[in-house]
Chains A and B, each alone.
Chain A
């Protein structure tokens, strides 16, 4: 029952997307073109995020570390 209501909800969300972007009014080949373009752009954006976001986060982390403290390593060690 939960799966069914989940599927209904997803279908309703898809209908809202169709209404807002007016793909409800388009002919099938126009819909194909529109969805292809949209999905291609979405996949490209996700791929770019997958490649670049970790690198950007580590660079930002290092930048802030450099700003607030100047220690790259712990130089203090006890020599017995």
Chain B
């Protein structure tokens, strides 16, 4: 018996070391990041150059009191100290961001569903101050909220259940998880989350950002190695830095880069002492929200097993949005949840609530219950929010007896395919994977960032535009987040307006022209690509 088990162990070990010749992916992985056209890059730099010159002119005028200075400056007594506002970030803020600031922080005054109401505001001094006109712009098609499965609703089963729990428990918890804030609702939620993900145990936290930044320090420390993707979210970066471990960055979604780092780590060990690393943790995200790309999870797991490291998967955007039954990126690739050591996600995006969770083996979660900063110091989730998560999760799993959850997941997949295909046919440059509901449309030039946001709002469509600190300086984009609550009519209206604005602002930079299919919506056939 023991001989047989030893032989099968070696066989399994050998299986992890062979070269997989195409057996890892069970479905095609279509991801594309079209290169910036040279002319567009040059013109973008020209635009930034002009704005920089005018920025220097305005700073000069403010310094010499020709113009009133409306931003924050040091007091007179502090003018001889180390300057606070002279670095590039503050220069960018004063001179470039202020000019287009009206596209951000727009106040909405209804539930952020498929359509949203917004309060109209005007600025009489070029975006330094805003005043509300009092008018409410109604029924703006919402292409910016992370409402992937459409659970941001003010009526329906989720809302009724949450209202009932609100009348039972109230809104406040008034304590941390370890003291008096551990409600029976939290226990119920955690069992449900563990069942949903297919892991042994799970723990829920009050804030998604805090889940990452407070739990990574509990898992790794000095003497450990963190291999983090180039484009990881700020919460992962903050958690990695707070932990005190050594951080090495691999190129975005590039498995050769990751393998090289892993090999170097195993061969050379820690920097000066050459001792082996205590732990190697790979930090990746399911869907990267600025690029719309999906992590190459089968390859990451194969590498993780080969080099015996641990994997931390942040499924903030992919839980509920990918996979045939909405269980996330692990189900999308057909892998087993036991291969991922720490599965983290948030309830903010697909479940219409707030907070985050971590799922994994029972020993891991029991350890986190005691040692996580978030469990010890942060207030736990509010009861109506917990009920919203429980109801929406049961709906997705189909346990409330209806087909609504499955229909929503399928509707989201159809919307994603349709929207992406139509935008590519129109000639825009779209980044990311074919199946990701996050659609970045490249704008590149700084004036077009402001113009796109304003023109789309004039046509009653709300979009999120992203510029410098969140993206590289020439690669600014507009980011659409699709939802299962968007009907085909809404998507067609949005596409028509995007087409119009694209012609008006000349945003159709793509040089790969797709042959458009005859109008058969929700078609899964592949298309040919012809170059201009």
Contact = CB atoms under 8 A, between A and B. Distances in A.
B56 interface: no
A34 interface: yes
B506 interface: yes
Contacts of A25: 51, 99-100, 446-447, 450
B13 interface: no
A26 B504 contact: no
Contacts of A16: 506
A24 B504 contact: no
B267 interface: no
A21 interface: yes
Contacts of B505: 15, 19
B186 interface: no
Q: Is the interface of B mostly helix, strand, loop or mixed?
A: helix
B517 interface: no
A12 B445 CA distance: 17
Contact of A24 (B46, B126, B450): B450
A22 interface: yes
Contacts of A20: 43, 46-47, 445, 447
Interface size class of A (residues with CB under 8 A): 10 to 19
A63 to B, nearest CB: 35
A23 B46 CA distance: 12
B451 interface: yes
B454 to A, nearest CB: 10
Nearest to B506: A16
A18 B447 contact: yes
Contacts, number: 44
A27 B61 CA distance: 14
Contact of B447 (A22, A30, A34): A22
Contacts of B126: 27
Given A16-B506, A19-B505, A24 B54 contact: no
A19 B451 contact: yes
Nearest to A27: B126
Nearest to B100: A25
Interface string B84-104: 000000000000000110000
Interface in B35-67: 43, 46-48, 50-51, 54
Output the residue of B43, B50, B446 with the most chain A CB within 10 A.
B50
Contacts of B450: 24-25
B408 interface: no
Contacts of B99: 25-26
A42 B43 CA distance: 19
A23 B301 CA distance: 50
B453 to A, nearest CB: 12
B115 interface: no
B50 A19 contact: no
Nearest to A12: B504
B502 to A, nearest CB: 13
Contacts of A12: 504
Interface in A35-77: none
Interface string B504-523: 11100000000000000000
B134 to A, nearest CB: 26
B67 to A, nearest CB: 10
Interface in B422-451: 445-448, 450-451
A13 B381 CA distance: 54
A39 to B, nearest CB: 15
B451 A24 contact: yes
A21 B504 contact: no
Contacts of A34: 50, 54
B504 A15 contact: yes
B54 A21 contact: no
18 contacts: A19-B445, A19-B447, A19-B448, A19-B451, A19-B505, A19-B506, A20-B43, A20-B445, A20-B447, A21-B447, A22-B47, A22-B48, A22-B50, A22-B51, A22-B447, A23-B50, A23-B447, A34-B54
Please list the 3 inter-chain residue pairs (A to B) with the smallest Cβ-Cβ separation, ordered nearest first. Answer: A25-B99, A22-B447, A22-B47
